[in-house]
């Protein structure tokens, strides 16, 4: 199995034993970790005959991470809920929202559901589907793929959704919401509607700060999702956090949280926050997105049958010439070892566009456009 096949069939493909051994070398030895923890126990003159293994340490790491988030964002510890990346936060929140609908005996014909601008991130569709929460879709406005704020507010105030998702920058378009639209939605949301602002993707432009939103809207049900994945290229640690604007909504989610997270992710996340304060995208990723955008812009100028979204985030849409299907382009690129997400594979399939990752090394984007030039 080589990496080329793995990118395409990652769901089924195993790593070979020699690849696993290579991976294993990257991590510190388990023995060193175990000895270190036993030494802490000895220093404390403590013997764990109660639970054994390292469950107390796991919980301690999560408490440290929660505290570090609370200090960085100037909110109470109880308002911070670390999870397995933003995907973990989305699933936890959607489970709680389903329970809310059940407890409130919401008739889905009349109210409830998840309100979202579409197309958007695939996990929102999956999670809503799995939890049997209806999706209220407000299509993005063409030609700029912006939020249709008037229609969005109308649906918000007439359909009483249980939960609203604001994904900014959006996946797959890479286009952010304006601060004005974010504030309008939060201000107009009914007091018992949960607003989830998914800030997993990097925005290379300035945007309203999370700590400011949490403070300003502490009387609303607002939660902001952050993750170490896209900001710092740490998706393998599966670490993110949901930050709540008040403790009551956080308490509603608490029972649905996973018990424990990976220690490595929790420790590294804590270290980052203690050293840097709030989560900020790394300069490396910001530069990659900016340079990838320049490369794509120059390509679209040279090949004007192609066009792209005016993205500021880790993904963008590239539109094909009028008579070219995205499947054809995707197969063509695949033969050159370049894998892209084609529009027909989106949760709401569309032809004529592909989604590109923009946060990687600029050489990756250059290789992609060079291949497209020969199409």
Ligand X SMILES: Cc1ncc(COP(=O)(O)O)c(C=O)c1O
Residues making contact with ligand X (CB under 6 A): 85-87, 121, 167, 171, 198, 200-201, 227, 229, 235, 240
| Angstrom distance (rounded) from CA 36 to CA 106 | 52
Provide, rounded to whole angstroms, the least separation between the CB of residue 133 and ligand X.
17
Beta strands in 250-369 (DSSP E): 307-308, 315-319, 341-342, 353-357
Residue number, 68 or 299, with CB nearest to ligand X: 68
Provide, rounded to whole angstroms, the least separation between the CB of residue 122 and ligand X.
8
Provide, rounded to whole angstroms, the least separation between the CB of residue 5 and ligand X.
22
Provide, rounded to whole angstroms, the least separation between the CB of residue 83 and ligand X.
8
Three-state secondary-structure class, residue 181: helix
Provide, rounded to whole angstroms, the least separation between the CB of residue 200 and ligand X.
4
> Would you say 123 and 196 are in contact if contact means Cβ atoms under 8 Å apart?
no
Three-state secondary-structure class, residue 241: strand
Residue number, 116 or 296, with CB nearest to ligand X: 116
Residue number, 111 or 137, with CB nearest to ligand X: 137
> Would you say 65 and 82 are in contact if contact means Cβ atoms under 8 Å apart?
yes
Backbone angles phi, psi at 138, to 5 degrees: -115, 105
Residue reference for tokens 């601008």: 117
Residue number, 64 or 171, with CB nearest to ligand X: 171
Q: Please, what is the end-to-end C-alpha distance for the chain in angstroms?
A: 28
Provide, rounded to whole angstroms, the least separation between the CB of residue 227 and ligand X.
3
Residue number, 84 or 299, with CB nearest to ligand X: 84
Residue number, 242 or 299, with CB nearest to ligand X: 242
In this chain, which residue has its C-beta nearest to ligand X?
A: 85
Beta strands in 171-300 (DSSP E): 194-198, 222-227, 240-244
């Amino acid at each position: 199995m080589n990496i080329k096949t793995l990118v395409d069939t990652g769901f089924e493909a195993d790593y070979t034993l020699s690849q696993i051994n290579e991976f294993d070398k990257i991590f510190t030895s388990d023995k060193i970790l175990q000895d270190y923890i036993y030494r802490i126990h000895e220093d404390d003159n403590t013997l764990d005959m109660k639970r054994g293994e390292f469950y107390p340490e796991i919980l301690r790491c999560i408490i440290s991470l929660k505290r570090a988030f609370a200090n960085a964002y100037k909110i109470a510890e109880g308002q911070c809920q670390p999870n397995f990346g933003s995907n973990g936060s989305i699933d936890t929140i959607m489970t709680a929202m389903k329970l809310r609908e059940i407890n409130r005996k919401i008739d889905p014909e009349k109210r409830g559901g998840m309100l979202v601008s579409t197309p958007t991130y695939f996990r929102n569709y999956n999670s809503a589907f799995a939890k049997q929460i209806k999706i209220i879709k407000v299509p993005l406005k063409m030609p700029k793929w912006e939020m249709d704020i008037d229609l969005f507010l109308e649906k918000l105030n007439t359909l009483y959704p249980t939960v609203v998702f604001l994904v900014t920058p959006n996946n797959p378009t890479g286009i952010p919401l304006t601060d004005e639209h974010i504030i309008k939605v939060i201000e107009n949301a009914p007091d018992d509607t949960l607003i989830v602002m998914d800030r997993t993707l990097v925005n290379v432009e300035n945007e309203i700060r999370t700590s400011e939103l949490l403070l300003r809207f502490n009387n609303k049900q607002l939660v902001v999702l952050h993750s170490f994945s896209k900001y710092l290229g740490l998706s393998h640690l599966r670490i993110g956090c949901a930050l709540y604007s008040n403790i009551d909504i956080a308490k509603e989610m608490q029972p649905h949280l996973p018990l424990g997270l990976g220690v490595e992710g929790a420790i590294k996340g804590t270290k980052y926050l203690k050293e840097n304060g709030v989560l900020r995208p790394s300069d490396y990723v910001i530069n990659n997105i900016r340079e990838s955008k320049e490369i794509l812009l120059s390509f679209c100028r040279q090949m004007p049958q192609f066009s792209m979204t005016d993205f500021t985030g880790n993904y963008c849409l590239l539109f094909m010439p009028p008579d070219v299907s995205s499947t054809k382009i995707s197969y063509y690129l695949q033969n050159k070892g370049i894998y892209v997400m084609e529009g027909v594979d989106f949760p709401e399939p569309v032809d004529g566009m592909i989604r590109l990752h923009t946060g990687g090394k600029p050489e990756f984007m250059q290789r992609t456009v060079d291949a497209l030039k020969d199409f």
